[in-house]
Amino acid sequence: MKTERKLSRAEFVRRYGGVYEHSPWVAEAAWERGGGGVGAGELRGLLASCVDSADDDAKLALICAHPDLAGRAAVRGELTADSAGEQASAGIDRCTPEEFERFRQLNDAYREKFGFPFVMAVRHSSRQQILAAFERRLRNEAPAEMRTALREIHEIARLRLEAMADVN
């Protein structure tokens, strides 16, 4: 289903620029490909296609735009509203001191090994599931882990678009 009117570039980027964390370039690229006039079902695929066709540097920057889970930004209250809500839904904001320390250790080990933050669509996960995924994914090789991070980012975007549809 097409939208009733085509959104201007500014309206489109304002509305969808945060779907991919701190990466409005994804919405800008989608608008250039006709995104201002597509329906919600087509939009998800169009946004994902813009990420998938981007160069490796842009993909790495997109991954790096994501905050560490239970990291410094969360402690300082500097997360985007979407990220804060997603982490809270998994109970990350209610970690015990021991869990916070385990998240810190895993975040550090992951960044050291891969050079980018651990990204996971945590909305329907528990802290224990997230910690287990951290440990499992630390065994991956860098190319496989980059692909996994991008799949998780697409899932985060899907969930954010669905939440926007519920509000609008």
> pTM of the entire structure?
0.91
Residues involved in catalysis: 66
Task: Give the tens place of pLDDT for each residue, 12-55.
Answer: 999 999 999 999 999 999 999 998 888 878 999 999 999 999 99
Task: Give the tens place of pLDDT for each residue, 47-56.
Answer: 999 999 999 9
Domain containing residue 36: 9-54
Is 154 found in the same domain as 72?
yes
Q: What is the pLDDT of residue 168?
A: 58
**Residues 150, 165: Cα–Cα separation, whole Å:** 23
- The number of folded domains in the chain is 2
User: What is the domain-level CATH number for residue 140?
Assistant: 1.10.3330.10
Percent of the chain with pLDDT over 70: 96
**Residues 154, 52: Cα–Cα separation, whole Å:** 10
Q: What is the pLDDT of the chain when averaged over all its residues?
A: 92
User: At residue 156, does pLDDT exceed 60?
Assistant: yes
Quick check: is 88 in a domain? yes
Quick check: is 136 in a domain? yes
